[in-house]
Structures are given as C-alpha cells and as structure tokens.
Amino acid sequence: MDRNLRIGLLAALAAAFIGSAWQLVSRHGVTTTLGPMELALLRYGIPALLLAPLWFGQRLVVPPEAPRIALVLLVVGGGLPFGLLVLAGARWAPASHMGLFMAGSLPLFTAIGAWIHKGQKVEGVRLAGLACIALGMALFAAGSFRSGSLDWRGDLLFLAAAMLWAVHSLAFSHCGLTPWQGAAFVNGWSSLLLLPVLAIAGAPRLLSAPWPDVALQALAQGLVAGVLGLVIYMLAVARLGAARASLSAAAVPVLTTLGAAAWMNEPVTGAVLLALALVVPGIVLASGAVRWRAREARTRPRT
C-alpha cells in the first residue's frame, strides 16, 4: 500500500474516534454544568494559545499566498460558526442524533460542494450511497417529528454544522496550508471572533462549574479536538482528498451511539438502529471507497 494512502487512512480512522469523543463530551458538557459559550472558549482559546508561536512566526495572520475566499471559508466552516452550531444543537438533541446527522450528512454536503465548485458528477455506487444516507436521515427525522419531540431543533443545527464542515474540507484543499498551519489559522481567528461574542454574552459558568468538569472539557475541547482532531482530519484531507477523507464519518454514528448508551444512558431505539443500517453503508458507498479499491486492485502489478 502506498505510504501516503496508509497515512491518510490511519488519519481518517483517528479522526473518527476523536470526532465521536468530541460529540460525547460536548453533549455531556452542555447538559450538566457548562454551556455553549464556555465550551467554545475552551475549544478555540486553548488551541489558539498553544499554536500562537506558529500563527505569528510563519505569517499566518493572513497567509499571502492563499486565496482570501478559501481562508474565510476555512474559518467559517471549521472554526467558531461551526463550533457554536454544534454546541447549541447538543443542548436540544441527544448525542446519537449528533452522530447521525453530522457524520451522515457530511458526504452528502461534500458531494454537493464538489459538484458546485468543480462540476464533479455523482453516479453509480456513490449516488446509491447518498440515497441511502438521505433516506436514513429522513426516516429518523420523521420519527422525531411524529413523537412530538423537540429534538428536531438540534437536528437542524447539526445539519447546518455538517454543511459548514464540508465547506471547510473543500476550502482546505485550496488554501495551500499544512495541517498544523491550518489548525493554527482556524483557532487563532476563531478566538478573535469569539472576543466580541464573549463581551456580549459572557461565559459565567466557567468559574462556577466544578473543576473536574472544566478540566475534562479543557482537555477534550482544547487539546484533543481543537489541536489533534483538526490537524489529523486536515492530514486525512491532504492525503486522501475531501471526498475520501469523509469516509471516516462512517464510524462516527456507531461510535457515538454506543458511547452515549454506555456513558449517558441514552436508549438505542429501533429508529436509531434503522437509521444506522441505512446511513453507515451509505457513507461507505458515497465516499467512493468501493470503486476506488476495485480500481486499485485492477491496476496493482502482478507478482
């Protein structure tokens, strides 16, 4: 196996575990002692401080070679706007919904973005995968509406966040930054954007919350998700491309659902299982991995 391919696959797998852990910790945080503003401060403030030497030392405040529109979309899609949508949605909907709607819709929005930006058509197996994803999420959402639950508010925010993350993935492939530079740029500008928001809304729970809760969120939000998660996912995009890197999303709904059941006692209902049965295979097919592997097997030299 090619070295770049191997590194990209490992990075995509690691990104799936980190993404699922971030969803679980975020849901736990906003439903216990902290709120979205407190978590956003930890999520972007800590990485910005840790990566400040890189941000200032390599002229990353506004990289001169990168297209300005790509830089703006990089921050909007993977920075503060994305984070606030996820954290606000986590207050309304269970973690399993986060895994399904965010990870499930990512290949869908990535395919739409690639079609709009590059004119890439989706056909055959990939189109069938996108259809499975759409059907699974539609059935799951319809069940939430029929039950009279208010989870749909969080579900809509998760879908909006997934759309922004797809924009982030496509923008990174055009900005010319390394994964570390991209993480420094996104977190640095997100922290600056957060300052006026904090001046208005504040983060009052940060000082009143129990210190173990703050320490857990500082580690998970600031270091694991804010630095490692962003760098690892950008590495996967750099080695595999945005569409192939989105394959890592296939594991996230399952990991998040199982983690929420074990940690937060969220029920694994029949509706969740049905949605997983459609969305997870749909992500695999929509990523193009099946066709990609088949082509790789045909072109591999015989020994």
Q: What are the residue boundaries of the structural domains of the chain, listed by start?
A: 3-299
Whether 253 shows a pLDDT value over 50: the answer reads yes
Query: What pLDDT band is residue 243 in, cutting at 50, 70 and 90?
Result: low
Average pLDDT over residues 256-272: 92
Q: Which of 67-71, 141-145, 199-203, 295-299 has the lowest mean pLDDT?
A: 295-299
- Supply the pLDDT for residue 250: 82
Residue 265's region, left for phi above 0, alpha for psi from -120 to 50, else beta, is: left
CA distance 174 to 166: 13
124 or 29: which carries more pLDDT confidence?
A: 29
- pLDDT at position 27 is 95
Give, in order, the Cα–Cα distances in Å from 268 to each of 188, 233, 272: 38, 28, 6
Which of residues 285 and 157 earns the better pLDDT score?
Answer: 157
SS3 93: coil
Q: b or e along 152-180 (b: 16 or more beta carbons within 10 Å of the residue's beta carbon)?
A: bebbbbbbbbbbbbbbbbbbbeebebebb
Q: C-alpha dihedral over 119, 8, 281, 141, to 10 degrees?
A: -70
Rounded Cα gap, residues 74 and 62, in angstroms: 12
* More confident: 31 or 148: 31
As a whole number of angstroms, the distance between CA 229 and CA 19 comes to 7
Q: Check pLDDT > 70 for residue 290.
A: no
**Chain-centre distance for alpha carbon 213:** 23
In this structure, the number of other CB atoms found within 10 A of the CB of residue 84 comes to: 21
Give the mean pLDDT of 40-65: 84
Question: What confidence score (pLDDT) does residue 219 get?
Answer: 95
Return d(Cα 80, Cα 84) in angstroms, integer. Answer: 6
Structure token digits, residue 77: 């899609």
Contact partners, residue 108, CB within 8 Å, separation at least 6 = 130, 133, 134, 286
Distance CA 268, CA 258 (A): 8
Average pLDDT over residues 77-81: 93
How big is the CA angle at 246 (ends 131 and 70), to the nearest 5 degrees?
110
Going by C-beta distance under 8 Å and a sequence separation of 6 or more, which residues neighbour residue 170?
73, 110, 113, 114, 117, 242
Q: What is the Cα–Cα distance from 250 to 248, expressed in whole angstroms? A: 5
pLDDT at 148: 67
Location of structure tokens 């059907």? 135
E strands, the chain, are none
- Give the pLDDT score at 94: 92
Residue 300 has pLDDT above 70, yes or no: no
Percent of residues, the chain, with pLDDT higher than 90: 47
- Kindly report the average pLDDT of the chain as a whole number: 86
Q: How far apart are CA 111 and CA 128, in angstroms?
A: 13
DSSP state at residue 121: -
Q: What percent of the chain has pLDDT over 70?
A: 90
Contact 257, 268 (CB under 8 A): yes
Residues 175-184 have a mean pLDDT of 86
The pTM of the full predicted model, rounded to 2 decimals, is: 0.86
> For residues 257 and 217, what is the distance between their CA atoms, to the nearest angstrom?
20
pLDDT at 136 over 50: yes
pLDDT at 41 exceeding the cut of 70: yes
Q: How confident is the model at residue 1 (pLDDT cuts 50, 70, 90)?
A: low
- Rounded CA gap, 218 and 226, in Å? 10
pLDDT at residue 293, rounded to an integer: 46
Q: pLDDT band at 296, cuts 50/70/90? A: very low
How many residues appear in the chain?
A: 303
